[in-house]
Amino acid sequence: MTDGGVSTATRPRIADAVVDEFRAGLRGRLLRPGDDGYDEARRLWNGMFDRRPALIARCAGTADVVRAVNFGREHRLPVAVRGGGHSFPGHSVCDGGLVIDLSPMKGIRVDPVARTARAEAGVRWIDFDHETQAFGLATTGGTVSDTGIAGLTLGGGLGWLSSKHGLTVDNLISADVVLADGRFVTASATEQADLFWGLRGGSGNFGIVTSFEFQLHAVGPTVLGGMVAYPLRNAKEVLRFYREFDRAAPDELTTYAAFVTPPGGETIVAVFCCYSGPVDKAEEVVRPLKLFGPPAQDQLGPMPYVTVQRLFDEGFPTGSYYYTKGDFLADLTDAAIDVFAEYAATKPSPLSGVLVQTVRGAAGRVASDAMAFAHRKLPYAPVIVSQWLETADAEKNVTWARDFGRALQAFAGGGVYVNDLGYDDADRVRTAYGANYERLAALKKQYDPDNLFRLNPNITPPT
Ligand SMILES: Cc1cc2nc3c(=O)[nH]c(=O)nc-3n(C[C@H](O)[C@H](O)[C@H](O)COP(=O)(O)OP(=O)(O)OC[C@H]3O[C@@H](n4cnc5c(N)ncnc54)[C@H](O)[C@@H]3O)c2cc1C
C-alpha cells in the first residue's frame, strides 16, 4: 500500500510501512479505503451512519484483538469496537480511526452436559441459537436474530427467556477480555470479580471481550410463541388488559406489547408472547389473552423456539434509516397508555413502531447492585423505533420519535436501557447506569484511565 499513510487528527500521519507491519502481524485482514470488502465492513445495521474509518482490523482471534488494541493505543487512534453492528447510535464505526471488527470471530462450543456455551464476540443470536438448540438448550438472547451477542450482552440483554432465566448478563459465567493496555484476562465471579461486575451492563467501557461463557437452560425446541393483535382503535383497553395479564403471568411467560403496521395493513396493537414452560400448560396460561375481545389476528401457538427468535427479523432490515428513543417505566399507567395510543396513531412511517419489553420475574429479582445493570425494579422498557427509507423523510420521522419519547418522559421511572440509547442521548448516559454509575467510574479509571474505549455510552474516567 502506498496511498499516503494514515492521517489522524490527534497524531502525525502513520507511515505506510507502519501500517504494513500492523497488517503483517494480523491473522485476519486489515482493510483501508478502496480495499475489497471495505464498504461492506464499515456498514452498520442503521443506515444513518456512513462513516469512513482509516483502518478496519477484521480480527480472526484474540491475538489480532491484542495487536489491534495496542496499535490503536500507541497511535492514539479513535477506536470503535464492532460485534454484530447493531448499535442504535452507530458507536461501532468511526470516521478516520480504527474499527476493531470482531465479526469474523464466530466460534461456539456447547457443553451439553454442563449446559454451558462459550461463544466468540462475532457471533449473532441466530448462530448461537442454532448451536444451542441442537441440544434443546438456550439462554436469554436478543429478539432480532442478526443482533450480535457481544453488544447486547454487555448492555444487559432483554429477551424472550428473561422472565424465567433472567437477563443475558444474569447468565454470563465468564468473559475473556483484552484490556486497554493489551493485557488479556478472564473475568468471572472468582477471577477479576470487579471487572466481571462492570462488564455485566457496563457497555464495553472496560475492554474488548473476545468470548463469552453462558449458562444454558432446557428450552423447547417447541415453545408457545407469536402474537395476538387487535385493531388500533382498541389500543387503550388492550394495553390496560395487557398490564394485568403481564403482572399475573408465570415466569415461564415473557410478554411484550407492541404497535406495528404489517406490510400493506393497518396499524395494530399486539401482545407478543413466549411461553417456555411445558407446552401442554401453555394454552391455559394464554387463554385470557385469547379470550379478550375479538382479535384482528391470532398467531399464537406452538412453534420452534428459533422461530420465536426470528419473529421480528423482517421488520428491522439492515440498511434502513433508524432513530430510536428508549425509557424504563415503573408502571404502565392509564395516562402512559394514552400516550402510546396517541403516538401510535400518528406515526409518519408504516415501518415505525414501539415495542414495550419487560424486566420481570427472574430478571426483576436480581439486586440492583449485583452487577452494572441497575434497573431491576422498572418492569417496562419501551423502545420507540422510527424507520424510513428516503433521506428526505428523516426530519418527520425523527421528530415523531423525539416527541413520543418526550411525552413518555413524564412517566419514566428514572432509568433508560443503555442499549436503547440513541445518538442524541449523551446526556442520558448517567441515567442509564443509574445508582451504579460511581462504582463504574472507579472501575473505568482502573481499567481504562485514558478512555481508549470511548465510542460507547461512555463512562468518563474520573481524574
Ligand atoms: C434490530 C435490533 C433489535 C434489538 N433487540 C434487542 C433485544 O431484543 N434485547 C436487547 O437487550 N437489546 C436489543 N437490541 C439492542 C442491542 O442490544 C444493542 O444494539 C447492542 O449494542 C447490539 O450489539 P451488537 O454487537 O450487534 O452491536 P455493535 O454495534 O457491534 O456493538 C455495539 C457496541 O457494543 C460494544 N461492543 C460490541 N462488541 C464488543 C466487545 N466484544 N467488547 C467490548 N465492547 C463491545 C461497543 O461499544 C459497540 O459500539 C436490539 C438492537 C437492534 C438494532
Q: What is the per-residue pLDDT across 386-430, written as a single tens digit (0 to 9) for each?
A: 999 999 999 999 999 999 999 999 998 889 999 999 999 999 999
Residues contacting residue 50 through CB under 8 Å, at least 6 positions apart:
none
User: What does the pLDDT average to over 270-286?
Assistant: 96
Contact between 149 and 124 (Cβ < 8 Å)? yes
For the chain, how many residues are written?
Answer: 463
| pLDDT at residue 413, as a whole number | 86
DSSP track, 236-258: HHHHHHHHHHHHH--TTEEEEEE
The residue with cell 415466569 is 251
Which pTM does this prediction carry?
A: 0.96
User: Is residue 88 in contact with ligand 1, taking CB distance under 6 Å?
Assistant: yes
CB of 155 sitting under 6 A from ligand 1 = yes
Cα separations in angstroms, 379 against 315, 334, 360, 454:
24, 16, 6, 29
Q: How many CB atoms lie within 10 A of CB 217?
A: 18
The H helix count followed by the E strand count for the chain is 14, 21
Q: Which atom of ligand 1 is nearest to the CA of 45?
A: 53
**Banded model confidence at residue 1, pLDDT cuts 50, 70, 90:** very low
| Amino acid at residue number 107 | G
The residue written with cell numbers 442520558 in the block is: 428
- The predicted structure's pLDDT at residue 12: 63
Top mutation candidate among 48, 86, 429 for ligand 1, by most atoms within 8 Å of CB:
86
Per cent of the chain over pLDDT 90 is 95
Ligand 1, closest atom to CA 151? 23
Among protein residues, the one whose CA lies closest to atom 23 of ligand 1: 151
Tell me the average pLDDT across 29-45. 98
How much is the pLDDT for 9? 56
CA 421 to each of CA 86, 334, 372: distance values in angstroms, whole numbers, following the listed order: 12, 25, 16
In the three-class reduction of DSSP (H, G, I as helix; E, B as strand; rest coil), residue 194 is classed as: helix
Q: Grid coordinates standing for 406? A: 418526550
Cross-strand partners of 119: 108, 212
Type of residue at 209: V
**Among residues 205, 204, 209, 155, which one has the least CA distance to residue 184?**
209
159 lines ligand 1 (CB under 6 A): yes
Cβ 172 under 6 angstroms from ligand 1: no
**pLDDT tens sequence across 295-304:** 889 999 999 9
Catalogue the E-assigned strands of 42-114: 55-58, 79-82, 98-101, 108-111
144 lines ligand 1 (CB under 6 A): yes
Mean pLDDT of 347-364: 97
> Per residue in 114-139, pLDDT tens?
999 999 999 999 999 999 999 999 99
Q: Is residue 187 classed as helix, strand or coil in its secondary structure? A: strand
243 lines ligand 1 (CB under 6 A): no
Q: Is the CB of 85 under 6 A from ligand 1?
A: yes
* pLDDT bracket for residue 3 (50, 70, 90): very low
The residue to mutate among 93, 174, 419, having the most atoms of ligand 1 within 8 angstroms of its beta carbon, is 419
| 454 CB near ligand 1 (under 6 Å) | no
The rounded Å distance from CA 131 to ligand 1 centre is 20
Residues paired with 356 in a beta bridge: 257, 382
Cis (ω within 30 of 0) for the bond into 112? no
pLDDT digits (tens, 9 = 90+) for 239-249: 999 999 999 99
Q: What is the pLDDT of residue 23?
A: 98
11 has pLDDT over 90: no
Is residue 5 scored above 80 in pLDDT?
A: no
Per-residue pLDDT at 293: 82
Q: How far is the CA of 64 from the centre of ligand 1 (A)?
A: 21
